[in-house]
A and B are shown apart, each in its own frame.
Chain A
C-alpha cells in the first residue's frame, strides 16, 4: 500500500500537491491545515513537518505563549516566507525548525529525523550539517574578517565551498578581507548569507534578513537569497513582517498570535528588484 502511494507521489507533479487556492483563507478552513490533518497522499519532498507545536516563554513574571499549536510542512527547494507582525511567533518557529530552540510540546521532523527527540549534541550536528542561519543583526564575529567569518563555518562543515566562492556568490569577493566594522549593513548581511550557505546547507533560515536595512540594500540582500534558492536549490524560509517581500515567495505562511492564520501559494513570483515598499 505504502509503496503504491510513494510511486504515485513520484510520478505526479510534486508541485501540484503543494498548490492551494491563492486567495487568503482563514485558519479554520485552510486547505493546508486540513491537508495535514487528513493527508490524502503524503508528499515525498517534505523537508520539515511540525505536529501541534507550542512554545511558552517565561519572561520574568509573565508567561508568553509564543506558539499555540502549529502544524506545517516545508518542501524541498521552495522559498517560503513566514509573514507576521512582531510577536506573532515567527522567529520562535524558525528557531525551532533550525534546532536553536525546542518546542514546549509537539513534534518537529526534519526529513525522517524527529528533531524534538534529539539530544543537544545531535541538534548541534544537525545545525552544523544541514542548516544555514541568517539573523536580523547579522551576528558576525566582530574580530574576524568577512572571509574568516565564513571560514568559521566551512572549517567544521562536511562538504563546504571555499569561503571565497561563497563570498563571490553574494558579490563580496572584493571585500573579503574587511572586518565587519568596515562593511555596510547590507554587506554585513551578505557576508552572513555567504557564511550560511558556504556549508551547502539543505535549508536556509533567514530571520528578518532585511529588518535592519534600507530598501535598496534590502533588495540586494533578497536578490542574493533568491539566487541561492534558485541556483543551489536550497529550501529557504524567510521571516519578515514586511508583506511586500512575500511576493517573491513560492508560498506565504502568515502567522498571527502564535497560530497559522493563512497559507497562500503565489502563482506569480516577483523578482526581488520588482518589489516596492
Chain B
C-alpha cells in the first residue's frame, strides 16, 4: 500500500467518530431512498403483472337491468376486446361475532366459460363446482377478518330471504385489491366482503334470468377510452345505465394509484431531503477537515506531489465515506424494503408479491452522494492546493477581529471577555457560523418533517370524524326511498336524531374536463353531517348553487362563480348548468354538495332519500343492528367508530410505519450534524484553546467557550430549523395530494418541541465528547506545531 493511502486510513481512524457520523447521515438518506424506490418498484410491478395476468377490465358500467342480448352489441363497439356481463348485488350479512350488519357484494360467475376479465385467483379451498349451489368464493380480506374457512357458513339476506352461503374457497381479484364500498373512505374488511356465486343461482335469487346489471370490458391497445365509454353509455342508457367509467374512476384502482402516489411523495421527499442534508454536511465537514490539513498539503506539495495527486488523495477519503454510507444505506434500505413489502402484502390483496430490486437505485444513490461529496472536496482541495506551499506553511496572519455589532452599539460592557471572544469569533467568520447554524437547523428540520405526519393524521381524524361527520351511524338504502319512510327511520331503536341523505351519481363537466362525482343533498342546518368552510365554520348550502370540494375544483380547474355542467346519471338524467357558489377544503374524496331542496328540483322529484345520518343511544346499538340486519331496504350501515378504527388500522398504520423510519433517520442525522459541528469547531481551534490552557484557563473554562459557541449556534438554529422544517413539510404535503386523499399541513407544537429537544440532547452529548477531547488536548504539541 502506498504511504499516502496509509495516511488516509490512519487519518480516518483518527477521525472515526466523524467519519462514522457522516457515513451514517449518508446511509440514512440512501436507506430511505432505496427503500422507497424498491417498495414502489415492487408495488408497481406486482400490480401490473396482476392486472395483466388476471385481465383487469379497462371500462366498467352498471345498469339497472339489461337483456343478455346487449352483450353482443357491446362487444361490437370499436375498440372493445372482450366483454363480460354479470349480475352484482349488495346484500346484508349476518356474521358471527359481529353485532352490526356487514355488506356482502355478490358477483356472478358464468358456469360455462372461464372468466376472461377480472379473473379469480384461488388462495385457499376449491373453485365452485358445477351444479353445486349454495356455495360461494369469498374475498380474502373478509375471510381473514372473520377467520372464515372452507365449509364455514355466512347468513345473508338475499332479496328479502335469509340464505346460508357455504364457503368453498378464498379468492382474490384485481378488481378489489382495495375492498372499499362506494361512499366509504377506507377499506373495512370486517364489514364489507366480496362473494362469487354461480350466475344461474344469483340470477334466480334476484329474478335476473336472461339479464345482467354489470358490465366489464377490456379494450384493444389502440382504443380510445372516451369513445368506448360514450358508446357504452349510448347502449346502456335505456337500461338504466349510470355512466360507464374507466380505471381512473374504479374505486380499487384509484385508491391503489393514490396510495402509490402518496407512497411516492412520502417516500421521495424525505429521502431527497435526507440526501441533500447529507450532501450539505459532507460538503461542509470535508471542506473544513481539509482546511485543518492545510500544512500537510503544503508539505506534500513541497515534496513534489502534484495538485491532482493531492486531489485524488482527498477524493479517496470522500469515496471511502460515500461507499461506506451508500453500502450501509443500501443494505438497510433493502432490508427495510423487504419488511415494508411484507406489510403491503398483508394490506393489499395481491396473489403474489414481486420483490423487485433495481440496482440502478443504488447507482443513483452512489452518484448523488458521491457528486455532492466530491463537489465539496473539490472546492476545499482547490483552495488548499492553490495556496503556495510556502504561504500555507507560514503562520496565518493574525485574524482580522473587530468589535462586534453588539459591542459597537454599546452593549459590550454587558459581556465578559470570554463572551466577547465567542461573539467576535462567530462574527468574524460569518460564512462558517452561518453554515454551522444551517447544518444544525437542517437537523431540526428533518426531525420536524420526520414527525409531522402524525400531527396531520391526528388533525385529519379530528376534522373528518368530529367536525364533519358527527353522526354515529350512516345508512345507505338500496335505492331511493320516499321521504315518507323517514319517520320510520327516526323511530328505529336507539335513534335520537337523524339527518336525511340524498345523493345522486353525476358527471360534472367543465370545459373539456369531467369527473364522476356523487352530488350530496344537504339539509339546511343539518347538525350531523356538515361541511365546513376554510375557517372550519359550518357552511349552510342554500340556493340553487353547487358547493364543491377543493380537490374537485382543482381537478376541473373551476373557480367560484364558474358554471359547471351537471349531468345526472340516474332517473330522468337531466343535464343542467349550475353555478359554483362555494369551494370548501375537504381532505377525502372529491364531492359536490347542493341543498336538498335544489337537488330535488334538479332531479324533478318530491324528495326521496338514499340514506340517513343517525345519532344513536350507545346503549341501544345492539337493538338497532338487529333491526337493520333484517331490513332489506338498507344496503349499507357504516359505523363511525368502526370507520375510525379501520382508518387507524390501515392508512394511519401505513403512514406511521414510514413516519417511524423517518423519525429514526432524522434523529441519526441530527446527531451526526451536531456532533460534526462540535468536533470540527474543536479541531479548528485546538491551538487557540491550548494557548488559553497554557495561560491559565481551566479545562472547564475553555470547554465553556466551545459549549457557549455551540449553544449560540444551536439556539439560532432552532427557530430557523423550524421554519425550514415547515417548508419541508409543506413540500411533502403538496406532493402528497391526490384526488381521493389529501393531507392538511398541521404541525403541532409538540413536534417542534420534540425536534428541539432531540437537537439539544445531541448538542449536549456532542459537547460531552468534545469535553473529553479537550482533556486529551496535548498542549505542548499543539503549540509547537505551526498552523
Q: What string of 1s and 0s marks CB contacts (under 8 Å) between A126-144 and chain B? A: 1111010101010101011
A143 to B12, CA, bound (A): 10
A238 on the B face (CB < 8 A): no
Q: Which of A147-171 contact B (CB under 8 A)?
A: 148-149, 151-153, 155-157
B302–A98 CB distance below 8 A: yes
Interface flag for B685 (CB, 8 Å) = no
Question: Quick check: is A5 within 8 A (CB to CB) of the other chain?
Answer: no
Contacts of B14 in A (CB 8 A): 143
Query: Are A137 and B785 in contact, CB atoms less than 8 angstroms apart?
Result: yes
User: With A60-B398, A137-B785 known to touch, is A156 a contact of B303 (CB < 8 Å)?
Assistant: yes
CB-CB under 8 A for A60 and B388, given A124-B306, A143-B6, A148-B6: no
Q: Which of A59, A102, A128, A137 contacts B303 (CB 8 A)?
A: A128
Is B364 part of the contact surface with A, judged by Cβ < 8 Å? Answer: no
Complex Cα–Cα for A95 and B298 (A): 12
Are the C-beta atoms of A128 and B304 separated by less than 8 Å?
yes
Interface check A100, CB cutoff 8 A: yes
Residue A121 is within 8 A (CB to CB) of chain B in the complex:
yes
| Contact A127 B302, beta carbon cutoff 8 Å | yes
A60-B400, A151-B3 are contacts. A143–B302 as well, Cβ < 8 Å?
no
Q: How far is the CB of B541 from chain A (nearest CB, A)?
A: 74
Distance (whole angstroms) from the CB of A2 to the closest CB of chain B: 33
**How far, in whole Å, are A122 and B786 apart by their CA atoms in the complex?**
28
For the complex formed, measure the closest distance between the CB of A102 and the CB atoms of chain B, giving whole angstroms. Answer: 7
Question: Mask for B755-787, Cβ within 8 A of A = 1, else 0?
Answer: 000000000000000000000000001001110
Which of B295, B306, B391, B398 is in CB contact (< 8 Å) with A139?
B295
**Within 8 Å of chain B (Cβ to Cβ): is A125?**
yes
Q: How far is the CA of A101 from the CA of B7 in the complex (A)?
A: 26
Q: What's the nearest-Cβ distance from chain A to residue B710, in Å?
A: 26
- CB-based contact A144/B295 at 8 Å: no
The contact of B296 among A59, A60, A126, A141, by CB within 8 Å, is: A141
Which A49-73 residues have C-beta < 8 A from chain B?
59-60
Contact digits for A96-134, partner B, Cβ 8 Å, 1 yes 0 no:
001011100000000000000000110011111101010
Residue numbers in B under 8 Å from A139 (CB-CB): 295-296, 298-299, 302, 393
Q: Does B305 contact A (CB under 8 A)?
A: yes
B679 shortest CB reach to chain A, Å: 17
A275 at the interface (CB under 8 A from B): no
A126 to chain B: closest residue by CB: B304
Contacts A137-B784, A143-B10; is A152 near B4 (CB within 8 Å)?
yes
Instruction: Tell me if A102 and B388 are in contact (CB < 8 A).
Output: yes
Contact with A along B1-23 (1 / 0, CB 8 A): 01110110011001000000000
Residues of chain A with a CB closer than 8 A to B4's CB: 152, 155
* B390 with A212: CB separation less than 8 A: no
| In the complex, chain B residues 356-407 whose Cβ is within 8 Å of any chain A Cβ | 388-391, 393, 397-398, 400
- Smallest Cβ distance from B687 to chain A, in angstroms? 13
Contacts of B640 in A (CB 8 A): none
Q: A139: nearest residue on chain B (CB-CB)?
A: B299
Which residues of chain B are within 8 angstroms of A153 by Cβ–Cβ distance?
A: 303-304
Interface size on B, residues (CB 8 A): 33
Q: A101-B391, A141-B7 are in contact. Are A156 and B302 (CB under 8 A)?
A: no
Query: Is A137 in contact with B306, judged by CB distance below 8 angstroms?
Result: no
- Is residue B515 within 8 Å, beta carbon to beta carbon, of the partner chain? no
Q: At the interface, yes or no: B301 with Cβ under 8 Å from chain A? A: yes
A149, B3: Cβ atoms closer than 8 Å = yes
Question: Which residues on the A side are within 8 Å of B400 (C-beta)?
Answer: 60
Q: What chain A residues lie within 8 Å of B3 (beta carbons)?
A: 144, 148-149, 151-152, 155
A156, B785: Cα distance in complex, Å: 26
A152 to B4, CA, bound (A): 6
B309 — which chain A residues lie within 8 A by C-beta?
156
Report B-chain residues with C-beta under 8 Å of the C-beta of A151: 2-3
* Chain B residues, Cβ within 8 Å of A156: 303-305, 309
**CB nearest neighbor in B for A92:** B390
In angstroms, Cα B298 to Cα A98, docked, is 13
Chain B residue numbers with a CB within 8 Å of A155 are 2-4
Determine the distance from Cα of A265 to Cα of B3 in the docked complex, in whole angstroms. 41
Which residue from B304, B305, B388, B781 sits with its C-beta under 8 Å from A101? B388
Flag if B305 contacts A143 (CB, 8 Å). no
Complex Cα spacing A23 to B636, Å: 119
- From B296, B304, B785, A125 is in contact (CB under 8 Å) with B304
Report the minimum CB–CB distance from B10 to chain A (whole Å).
4
Q: Which of B7, B304, B397, B784 is close to A59, meaning CB atoms less than 8 Å apart?
A: B397
B357 to chain A, nearest CB (A): 39
Return B410 CB to nearest CB of chain A, in Å. Answer: 26
Which residue in chain A gives the minimum CB-CB distance to B306?
A: A124
If A60-B398, A137-B786 touch, whether A144 touches B6 (CB-CB below 8 Å) is yes
Given A124-B301, A135-B393, A137-B785, 19 extra CB contacts under 8 A: A60-B397, A92-B390, A100-B388, A100-B393, A101-B391, A120-B307, A124-B305, A127-B302, A131-B304, A141-B296, A144-B6, A144-B7, A153-B304, A155-B2, A156-B303, A156-B304, A156-B309, A195-B303, A212-B784
Chain B: residues with CB nearer than 8 A to chain A? 2-4, 6-7, 10-11, 14, 295-296, 298-307, 309, 388-391, 393, 397-398, 400, 781, 784-786
- Give 9 pairs: A residue, B residue, CB < 8 Å, sorted on A: A91-B390, A95-B389, A124-B306, A124-B307, A126-B304, A129-B304, A137-B786, A148-B7, A153-B303
